Amino acid sequence: MKRIAIGADHAGFQLKSRLIERLQSLGYSVEDKGCYSEDSVDYPDFAHPVADSVEKKEVEFGILLCGSGNGISMAANKHAGIRAALCWMPEIASLARQHNDANILTIPARYVTENEAYAIMDTFLGTAFEGGRHEKRVNKIACV
């Protein structure tokens, strides 16, 4: 069973709940790292636990949501080995996996519909990294 960590701030809470339901219906084991209501919270408080789980390989992928997707993605990308990709359409999600070996999907909750989010997530999770010429580039991302 594939394991996914998911987190969101208050702007992404409702959509996160729907994505969890979909993931579970598809047979994924989901670790919900919060938040747990629409009360105002700080997005880094949820980005970091998801990024930690991916970084430690406790889960296969992470999914993060906030209003624009930017802040939560920036926080996650502070972690070594994390390649969080802000995706607003399936084609971006596909390329993020194929070319960048993205390991966290970030969704802008205020700018996509529920069905668009499903399509983005399904594409991200169903697309493999191509490797090859892209591997060299991905290996240059981390600052050492």
Indicate if 99 belongs to the active site: yes
pLDDT at res. 143: 80
Which of these is catalytic: 10, 99, 134, 143?
99
Residue 11 gets which letter from DSSP?
Answer: G
- Give how many domains the chain has, as a whole number: 1
pLDDT at res. 142: 84
pLDDT at res. 1: 80
Q: Global pTM?
A: 0.96
Separation CA 72–CA 23 (nearest Å): 20
> Band of the pLDDT at 81, cuts 50, 70, 90?
very high
Indicate if 87 belongs to the active site: no
Q: Is residue 144 part of a domain?
A: no
Separation CA 83–CA 79 (nearest Å): 9
Q: Is residue 80 part of a domain?
A: yes
Average of pLDDT values for 95-108?
Answer: 98
Q: Is residue 115 part of a domain?
A: yes
Q: Is residue 104 part of a domain?
A: yes
Report the CATH number at residue 119: 3.40.1400.10
Range of the domain at 101: 3-139
The model's pLDDT over 4-54, given as tens digits with 9 standing for 90+, comes to 999 999 999 999 999 999 999 999 999 999 999 999 999 999 999 999 999
Number of alpha carbons in the 13 Å side-chain half-sphere of residue 48:
4
Is it the case that residue 144 has pLDDT exceeding 80?
no
